[in-house]
Amino acid sequence: MAFSKQVVVFLVLVGLFNLCNAQGLKLGFYKKTCPSVEAIVKKETASIMAVAPTLAAPILRMHFHDCFVRGCEASILLNSTTNNQAEKDSFPNLSLRGYGSIDRVKSAVEKKCPGVVSCADILALVARDAVSFLNGASWPVPLGRRDGNVSNSTEALFNLPPPFFNITQLKASFASKGLNTKDLVVLSGGHTIGTSHCSSFTNRLYNFTGVGDSDPSLDSNYVARLKRRCSATDTTTLVEMDPGSFKTFDIEYYSVVAKRRGLFTSDAALLADSETRAYVTSHATPQGSKDFLKDFAKSMVKMGKIGVLTGSQGEIRKTCGFVN
């Protein structure tokens, strides 16, 4: 019993520590040191999205993957070294793209304000502006994050919720980062943009329980369609997560999930919990669009405060792929 109390006290202290750090973030943080930072980021991001709008999804996912490992401190951007395999080379991150875009934005900011703006803040801003470019939500991004100097591939494996998680595992994963069940179902709506490799869901098509069967929670007609796209060993073909609408940040994802056509086990899991199922069904109609965008903005602000470094912690990297 004493041990349990100690664990509870420890978790409370960790939560308070993260909260104190998050309070070090504020709107207008660079008002005096780099007042044009948001304008620079928005301009560069718009230029990138105009040429490659499909980068929005992996950049949004990059921000999510950064925050879930060590907090939002840009450890996802660090390159591996001879003696260390970094997060970006961990299996869950191998399909991420857009590192060069973050470097491009960082370079533009460095030209105007050298050594002032962190890579963590730039990643948070680019993710926001990329989503906004696709007619999605927009949100105020409190700034003041500093960059970490540790990145370990193993930590990505243990901290990132994989696509095969069930609802209990998903809720526990999000709760460990200070996010609640509503944040889980709302942030899952980010799957309204982007694609996935077949290998992330073919287990649901060909050998779900080890006897050559399909996942019964996946619509049988959709199973047949997906089998025409993906063989059991396909690792290269890309499939839209929100068919017909994967380049627009909208509410269609919830209609897809409600029809039992979410690609991942983690998508289907949203129908296995009363709270997440209620959100899915109520937002599977166009009427829920404004509420979803508002909810997504709120959850993104919350996610962007996970485990941040502020004040004198960490550093301001000169180049995002390397510690100073």
The yes-or-no answer on residue 283 being catalytic is no
Check whether 63 is labelled as a binding-site residue: no
Check whether 216 is labelled as a binding-site residue: no
Identify the active-site residue in 63, 65, 197, 283: 65
What's the chain look like in SS3?
CHHHHHHHHHHHHHHHHHHHHHCCCECCCCCCCCCCHHHHHHHHHHHHHHHCHHHHHHHHHHHHHHHCCCCCCCHHHCCCECCECCHHHCHHHCCCCCHHHHHHHHHHHHHHCCCCCCHHHHHHHHHHHHHHHCCCCCCCCCECCEECCCCCHHHHHHHCCCCCCCHHHHHHHHHCCCCCHHHHHHHHHHHHCCEEEHHHCCHHHHCCCCCCCCCCCCCHHHHHHHHHHCCCCCCCCEEECCCCCCCCCCCHHHHHHHCCCCCCHHHHHHHCCHHHHHHHHHCCCHHHHHHHHHHHHHHHHHHCCCCCECCCCCECCCECCECC
Check whether 273 is labelled as a binding-site residue: no
Check whether 240 is labelled as a binding-site residue: no
Check whether 121 is labelled as a binding-site residue: no
Check whether 250 is labelled as a binding-site residue: yes
Check whether 323 is labelled as a binding-site residue: no
Check whether 58 is labelled as a binding-site residue: no
Check whether 89 is labelled as a binding-site residue: no
Check whether 131 is labelled as a binding-site residue: no
Question: Hey, which residues are catalytic here?
Answer: 65
Residues belonging to the binding site for heme b are 191
Residues belonging to the binding site are 66, 69, 71, 75, 87, 161, 191-192, 242, 250
Residues belonging to the binding site for substrate are 161
Residues belonging to the binding site for Ca(2+) are 66, 69, 71, 75, 87, 192, 242, 250
